[in-house]
Structure 1
Amino acid sequence: MTPEQMPGYGYPTLAVWPEPWYETQGWLMHDYKICPDGSLKWFKSTILTENGHVKAEYFTTFDRAVSVADERNIQHLANLSKLDLSEQQRYSLELKAKKTIQAKSRLANEEQLMLSEAIRRSKQQERISINDIILPASAEIFREDLFNQLQTLPYLRIAFTRTANQKAILYRQNERAWSKPYNVGRKGAQLAERSKVANGFGFSAESHWGKIKASIRKILLPRANQLLQLASVQRLLAEAKSQGHQVVVSNGYVFWFEESGNIGWQVKETASSESSDGSAIWFEGTIISKNHGRLVVLPYIKENGEKVQGHTKNAPNDGRAKPRHPDSYVNLPFHVLKDDLMIGLFGELPYE
């Protein structure tokens, strides 16, 4: 196809972000475009070939795709000033772009943290030998690749396997035996990818993905609290406090300094904002805590520009959060660290 034949051709691009192409284990860049009616929609990114046609923009690694996206998004936001828009329209579009990319980035970083922890949890798990894997004759060609995956992910129950010329999905039947090969479709490939995380915590990848991740967050919270024992974290938080930061946020977790009761630093979780019309983090906002809830809703900006202070609360099934005395209400700014920092910090914790 030529560029003019592609959906979204000529529409201004607000932002870009890579999405998984599960069937290839790679990533396709997508453009967040402004449609003629003012709505926003994602389209596949394309690049021009030598013959004047276009092809999808494909990346073999997520890190490389994100690096490219980050560079482009700076320019795309700068290009908003060139469009025939009112100041309010421009501001609203900028908020929508930031909100969308923030959400996708946080999601990807959270899942990477969960995968890293799933692998670390399995360090002491016994690895199967290559000859002990039981495969039907039709799956024999995938033995070596399956074995290699099981050395890193011994808990895996759905595997995307491949050779130089073939690929297939295999399902685990018991500790040693695997199924015949199945064709690689989007659903099977997606389940195989999610199995890398879900199976590591004892969940089936075929269960509701959002509920699986919510359960994993609860599993990891006590481990996040153990971070407070690390000398590296103690130094990081001491430096943060010396700079006036009592709330430090990274990859879904919040280091919270509690003045009352000589509690000191503790770990909470972040919760998404409750706005239904979309929001972006308000980095200059503060968190007003009127209770001792374990979840922190960060300050956010609605798409209409309204700024909403953050707050603390409990999760729906936790019961009501213990209220603070009005004299003990706190109003705190927050500081955001890179999400990948938490992956490294979790890696410093040994598993018994």
Structure 2
Amino acid sequence: MKWGDTARDFDTVLAVWPNYRPLSNNWLMQELVERGDAAPIWRDRRIPSENGHVRGDVYLNREAAMSAAAALNQVLQNALSARDMDATKKRSLQLKVAKNLQSKERLHEEEALMLAEAQRRHENDPRPDTSAIVLSAESEPLRQELAGQLSKMPYLRVAMVVQRQPGGGWYRSILNLSHENIWSKPCRANKRSAEIAMRAQIANGFGLSADDHWGETKAKIRQILLPRANQLLQLASVQRMLAEALAVGQRVLVSNGIVFWYEEHGGIGWLVKHTASTKDSEGSTLWKEGTIRSINHGRLVILPYIKESGEHVRGHTRNGPNDGRAKPRHPDHYVDVPFAQLDGDLMIGLFGELPYE
């Protein structure tokens, strides 16, 4: 097929984001495509090849993919800003683009933190001796590669390995650990099983199954991580960071669902809260310049957001559904504070400083 043979080649692209494909071990760029009055959708990106045909926009490593995405997103953002169209519709479209990119970025940062934590939880576990790994006879040629994965993630119960063929070809296979601690014979991987094997690197580290609903599994992991987040205030590096933030007037710092909140009244100081969403804020665009109005001492923070209509909604605090009513503040102590975002990699590093018992 040649470039330009199909109508999709002429669709208006609003943004791009690289998507990792575990079966291929590469990154395929996805593009957010405009669809008139309907919501934009993500799809795999196609580009013209050197000979005028069509190929996927593929990258061999994440760094190259992210660099290409950042450069192209700036071009696409400028193109949208320069378009001659109704100002209200343009602003709505810009908000939809921002919402979609924020969602992709939050997902990546959250799963990166979870993977790092899964590995840290087991960093002191004994690693299996290569010769002691019990394999089915068909999996014997895969012993060394499996041992390499278990040396990094000894908790794995599902692993994807490369199976080489006599003629020089190869393909990926899945191994499963039985309840008797015997690794299964290899089963050729497909897109779904490769995805499960990748999720196992996170889920198995928390004693969870990679086969279960991924959204529900991650919700369980968030609950597991709550006590760890509360320990962050004990770290000298966090204390220094918060002191520096307070010195420049920052009293709310946010990253990966964790909120460092400075409670000025009552001599309390810094607290750890957590982000949450409401029916209206779920999936909306984060209002980075917005403020959080707190009239109570709720443990959850709803961040400021922008509706697709363009309406700006100030953030607030509240308790969870099973926490009871949040203790109200005295009207003299109502606060209306801006927030700052911390880099996701910084939060991964901070969690890494917390020792496990």
- The TM-score, its normalising length taken from structure 1, stands at 0.94
Q: Residues 67 and 293 from structure 1, CA distance in 2 versus in 1: closer, same or farther, beyond 3 angstroms? A: farther
SS, match of residue 212 in structure 2 = coil
Partner of 2:209 in structure 1?
204
SS, match of residue 30 in structure 1 = strand
Partner of 2:167 in structure 1?
none
Deviates more, 1:32-41 or 1:139-148: 32-41
Counterpart of 2:349, as a letter, is G
Partner of 1:185 in structure 2?
190
CA distance, structure 2, for counterparts of residue 5 and residue 121 of structure 1: 52
SS, match of residue 188 in structure 2 = coil
**Contact 1:277/1:302 (CA < 8 Å) preserved in 2?**
no
SS, match of residue 99 in structure 1 = helix
* 2:279 counterpart of 1:271: no
SS, match of residue 3 in structure 1 = coil
Counterpart of 2:253, as a letter, is V
Counterpart of 1:66, as a letter, is M
**Contact 1:273/1:300 (CA < 8 Å) preserved in 2?**
no
Deviates more, 1:58-67 or 1:205-214: 58-67
Counterpart of 1:118, as a letter, is A
Q: Residues 37 and 161 from structure 1, CA distance in 2 versus in 1: closer, same or farther, beyond 3 angstroms? A: same
Counterpart of 2:52, as a letter, is G
CA distance, structure 2, for counterparts of residue 320 and residue 114 of structure 1: 31
Consecutive unaligned residues of structure 2, counting only runs of 5 or more, are 165-169
CA distance, structure 1, for counterparts of residue 283 and residue 225 of structure 2: 28
Partner of 2:231 in structure 1?
226
Quick one: percent identity of the two aligned structures?
Answer: 51
CA distance, structure 2, for counterparts of residue 331 and residue 36 of structure 1: 38
**Contact 2:250/2:340 (CA < 8 Å) preserved in 1?**
yes
CA distance, structure 2, for counterparts of residue 61 and residue 217 of structure 1: 28
SS, match of residue 199 in structure 1 = helix
* C-alpha deviation, 1:316, in angstroms: 3.0
1:241 to 241, 246, 249: 246
Q: Residues 7 and 231 from structure 1, CA distance in 2 versus in 1: closer, same or farther, beyond 3 angstroms? A: farther
Partner of 1:324 in structure 2?
329
SS, match of residue 309 in structure 2 = coil
Q: Residues 277 and 105 from structure 1, CA distance in 2 versus in 1: closer, same or farther, beyond 3 angstroms? A: closer
RMSD between aligned residues:
1.9
* C-alpha deviation, 1:109, in angstroms: 0.4
Consecutive unaligned residues of structure 1, counting only runs of 5 or more, are none
Q: Residues 212 and 100 from structure 1, CA distance in 2 versus in 1: closer, same or farther, beyond 3 angstroms? A: same
CA distance, structure 2, for counterparts of residue 39 and residue 214 of structure 1: 27
* C-alpha deviation, 1:325, in angstroms: 3.3
Partner of 1:77 in structure 2?
77
> Equivalences for 1:1-80 in 2 at 5 Å?
1-6=1-6, 8-36=8-36, 39-80=39-80
**Contact 2:103/2:283 (CA < 8 Å) preserved in 1?**
no
SS, match of residue 8 in structure 2 = coil
**Contact 1:277/1:303 (CA < 8 Å) preserved in 2?**
no
**Contact 2:163/2:173 (CA < 8 Å) preserved in 1?**
no
CA distance, structure 1, for counterparts of residue 180 and residue 113 of structure 2: 26
SS, match of residue 84 in structure 2 = coil
CA distance, structure 2, for counterparts of residue 18 and residue 202 of structure 1: 29
CA distance, structure 2, for counterparts of residue 128 and residue 93 of structure 1: 53
* C-alpha deviation, 1:146, in angstroms: 0.9
